[in-house]
Amino acid sequence: KAGVTQTPRYLIKTRGQQVTLSCSPISGHRSVSWYQQTPGQGLQFLFEYFSETQRNKGNFPGRFSGRQFSNSRSEMNVSTLELGDSALYLCASSMGTGSGDEQFFGPGTRLTVL
């Protein structure tokens, strides 16, 4: 069974640009969550999508957005990039049954903002 895949693995952007990251969940998983990992703030929850709807949201500005497609694949978009957005962005998938089931993480996309 293939794991969670994320593309691209590495990205370099400049301030003010926007970026789109992609995540393909494990087959059969309907929930996709996104996390930001930085040395200073650690792992922080961005948002979660289930059946194409945002179900949970973290405390990030509106520049961070996402969506989910009918095949459960998800994209995350960051507009007007700032230096502080440099981070490892992790995607996790789960069945999403709501009983706190296990999340499986992808390898992440490392975003560098210059």
Partner 1 sequence: AQSVSQHNHHVILSEAASLELGCNYSYGGTVNLFWYVQYPGQHLQLLLKYFSGDPLVKGIKGFEAEFIKSKFSFNLRKPSVQWSDTAEYFCAVMNTGFQKLVFGTGTRLLVSP
CB of 105 to partner 1, least distance (A): 4
The C-alpha atoms of residue 78 and residue 73 are separated, in whole angstroms, by: 17
Q: Which is nearer to partner 1, 17 or 55 (CB)?
A: 55
The single residue listed with the structure tokens 């089931």 is 101
Question: Are the C-beta atoms of residues 22 and 35 closer than 8 Å to each other?
Answer: no
CB of 58 to partner 1, least distance (A): 7
CB of 87 to partner 1, least distance (A): 14
Q: Which residues bind partner 1 (CB under 8 A)?
A: 31, 33, 35, 42-45, 48, 50, 55-56, 58, 90, 92, 94, 96, 98-100, 102-108
Largest CA distance in the chain: 41
